[in-house]
Amino acid sequence: MRKLALSEDILLQAEKPARYTGGEINAVIKDREQVAVRFAMVFPDVYEIGESHLGMKILYHLLNARPDVWCERVYSPWMDMDRQMREKGIPLFALESQDPLKDFDFLGITLQYEMCYTNVLQVLDLAGIPLLAADRGEDMPLVIGGGPCAYNPEPLADFFDLFYIGEGEVSYDALLDGYKENRARGGSRQDFLRKAAEIPGIYVPSLYRPEYHEDGTLADFVPLCPEAPRKIRKVIVSQMDEAPYPLKPVVPYLKATQDRVVLEIMRGCIRGCRFCQAGMIYRPVRQKSVGKLLDTARCMQDATGYDEISLSSLSSSDYTELGPLLNGLLSECRDRKVNISLPSLRIDAFSLDVMSKVQDVKKSSLTFAPEGGTQRIRNVINKGLTEEEILSGAAEAFRGGWNKVKLYFMLGLPTETEEDMRGIAELAEKIAKCYYAEVPKEQRKGKVQITASASFFVPKPFTPFQWATMETEEEYLRRARLVKDTFREQLNRKSLHFQYHEADVTVLEGVLARGDRRVGAAILEAYRLGAIYDAWSEFFDMEKWREAFRRTGVDPDFYTRRPRQAEELFPWDFIDIGVTKRFLRREWERAMEGLVTPNCRESCSGCGAAVFGGGICHEN
């Protein structure tokens, strides 16, 4: 029997003790004496969120496939446990062995959103690992970051020994082998870091020095040793069918946010929406085959016992074999009483037919993401969804019995006018009208319910909008109120609901997303002032961040409000995602002209992702 890190007493006081006890079905237990490398994989948020994340599961699986490595899981202790551990001096531990993180060789931290940055520091702090990489001695674990936020690692550069740029399937073997060799040779931490810098996709921040112009913009990004390449190209899987996939994922006892089999059907997206970072960094589009997916689904159901399966991709409707895949899944799932959930499907006759087979029409709602309120702004963002498509999809759905619609929008997009803002309410109104026109009075089951929600746009690195200027908090709120007022003017206002996100978080996310190495000081200060769980509105406290910016002399406006020139060197420009800066700039200019760029299936726009030699760029 494993010895738990926390006493019974402490566990029974915790809100959910099962967050800390591990031992779930399919958790991997190895003999700590028999492995050469111990790897702790961290998701810096609460258990139920982290345990739902596909990337964690993939890495856990592929690292544990090596007999010489034991990979374990770590999540942020929830606030109640955070307090207990600090008070009682209990070091943070990994779930499987319950051993303290300090005993590990690697701490791999996945960076899925900017608002988890203070939780990264929480994890290091509770583990007793110095927050600054420069302060870590020879016996401390190596801290490596990965995930989408690693595409601009600079704000976190001081806290990490390494970053992994790209998909985990590719370079971990080389990294772990290099680590073992270095240790066998008696090499130092520094020796290993230099060696690691030569591995494709690995970035060692301490081997680079940023230099700045007088106006504060980046002048140069200088490698400090011959091992550190000037450009670091992301690494990606070229053959999805051959990539390792977790057929026996951990099955949590607690209800995780994603409590089902997750079937990744493809990576990348053909669409090229200009605000979307995922759409650029995961290029090119690569698909798995139907046969492979059906086998995978079967194995995963047998190994987990889940009664629901969900397709995962950035845009499932663009999977070219969607019909055969769904038919295959449907016939199998019917026998097994398994539900299929279909997020990110474009609403049309085909998808509605499928949905009516797998969901209860009366209870489910339809989701559209027009993102912008007018055709003009949708062209600016290159969202290839027209009003006609939305209305005909809605009409079809209403005839099929649905009467709940969710709409997602963004406010604060580049070039946005008041007409675009009002267009949000007007589009919602048109959909409501469509319901009353399509469904005869005697067939209606109550009012149509249309819920529109707006988030505020945050420009992200490696998107055509990386040059965009953000608005102030007050301006975001003014725009949101204008939309709200327009909703009140609509004839069918009783069927319409409008909600919007917090504006202060948006501005902060903007600073962290396009920040440089100097922003790290503010993150550290905010954490010291008590900022933690910033992604949770009940804990987020902008005042702490404002104070941290004041104390460290970091000016948020420099990162959010300053116009960026075409030729400006960005902190993330040393990373090569395949997609070129030239292409991104061209897309920015086309956006300003309101020109739509065709998607990857219609025609190739020469973004640069073809250098990887795989995926859609090389089909036919």
Partner 1 sequence: MKIRIRFSKTEDLRFISHLDVMRYFQKALRRAHVDISYTQGFSPHPVMSFASPLGLGQTSEGEYVDIEVGSSQPSAQMVERLNAVMAEGIQVLGFRRLPDTGKTNAMATIAAADYQVWLQPEEWVPRASCLGYWESYLAQDAIVVHQKTKSREADSDIRPLIQEAQWREDGSFFLRLAAGSDRNLKPEAVLDGFFLWLEEAGALPQGQKPALRIHRLDLYGEQDGKRISLEDFGEDMV
255 interacts with partner 1 by CB under 8 A = yes
Site mask for partner 1 (CB under 8 A), range 533-572, x = bound: ----------------------------------------
Q: Which residue has the tokens 């060696």?
A: 195
Name residue 109's beta-bridge partners.
42, 145
Comparing CB distances to partner 1, the nearer of 9 and 138 is 9
Angle at 481 between CA 477 and CA 483, to 5 degrees: 120
Comparing CB distances to partner 1, the nearer of 95 and 290 is 95
Q: Which of residues 291-330 bind partner 1 (CB under 8 A)?
A: 301-307
Site mask for partner 1 (CB under 8 A), range 362-391, x = bound: -x----------------------------
What is the closest distance, in whole angstroms, from the C-beta atom of residue 21 to partner 1 in the complex?
A: 5
Comparing CB distances to partner 1, the nearer of 9 and 474 is 9
Comparing CB distances to partner 1, the nearer of 198 and 308 is 308
Comparing CB distances to partner 1, the nearer of 49 and 269 is 49
Q: How far is Cα 49 from Cα 306, in angstroms, rounded to an integer? A: 18
What is the closest distance, in whole angstroms, from the C-beta atom of residue 441 to partner 1 in the complex?
A: 26
Comparing CB distances to partner 1, the nearer of 20 and 282 is 20
Comparing CB distances to partner 1, the nearer of 253 and 539 is 253
Comparing CB distances to partner 1, the nearer of 334 and 582 is 334
What is the closest distance, in whole angstroms, from the C-beta atom of residue 344 to partner 1 in the complex?
A: 21
Q: Which of residues 1-30 bind partner 1 (CB under 8 A)?
A: 1-2, 4, 8-9, 11-12, 16-18, 21-25
Q: Taking the mean position of all CA atoms in its chain, how far away is CA 311?
A: 16
Bridge-based pairing state of the strands 142-146 and 162-164? parallel
What is the closest distance, in whole angstroms, from the C-beta atom of residue 295 to partner 1 in the complex?
A: 18
78, 231, 443, 463, 465 from 573: Cα distances, Å: 36, 8, 57, 12, 15
What is the closest distance, in whole angstroms, from the C-beta atom of residue 393 to partner 1 in the complex?
A: 22
Amino acid at 273: C
Q: How far is Cα 470 from Cα 243, in angstroms, rounded to an integer? A: 39
Site mask for partner 1 (CB under 8 A), range 409-438, x = bound: ------------------------------
What is the closest distance, in whole angstroms, from the C-beta atom of residue 19 to partner 1 in the complex?
A: 9
Strand segments, DSSP code E, in 214-327 are 218-223, 232-233, 261-264, 266-267, 286-287, 308-312
Q: How far is Cα 137 from Cα 120, in angstroms, rounded to an integer? A: 19
Q: Which of residues 335-354 bind partner 1 (CB under 8 A)?
A: 336-337, 339
Contacts of 66 (CB under 8 A, 6+ apart): 173, 176
SS (H, E, C) 468-514: CCCCCHHHHHHHHHHHHHHHHCCCCHHHEEEEECCHHHHHHHHHHHC
Q: Taking the mean position of all CA atoms in its chain, how far away is CA 35?
A: 31
Query: Which tokens go with 409?
Result: 């929008």
Q: How far is Cα 505 from Cα 483, in angstroms, rounded to an integer? A: 20
Q: Which stretch binds partner 1 (CB under 8 A): 33-41, 251-259, 538-546, 590-598?
A: 251-259
Mapped onto helix, strand or coil, the DSSP state of residue 132 is coil
How many residues form the binding site for partner 1 (CB under 8 A)?
A: 32
Contacts of 160 (CB under 8 A, 6+ apart): 109, 133, 143, 144, 145, 153, 205
What is the closest distance, in whole angstroms, from the C-beta atom of residue 362 to partner 1 in the complex?
A: 8
Element at 203 (helix H, strand E): strand 202-203
Among 128, 222, 253, 291, binds partner 1 (CB under 8 A): 253
Comparing CB distances to partner 1, the nearer of 8 and 474 is 8
Q: How far is Cα 383 from Cα 205, in angstroms, rounded to an integer? A: 36
Q: Which residue has the tokens 């200019």?
A: 589
Among 54, 90, 251, 395, binds partner 1 (CB under 8 A): 251
Residue numbers at the binding site for partner 1 (CB under 8 A): 1-2, 4, 8-9, 11-12, 16-18, 21-25, 251, 253-255, 301-307, 336-337, 339, 359-360, 363
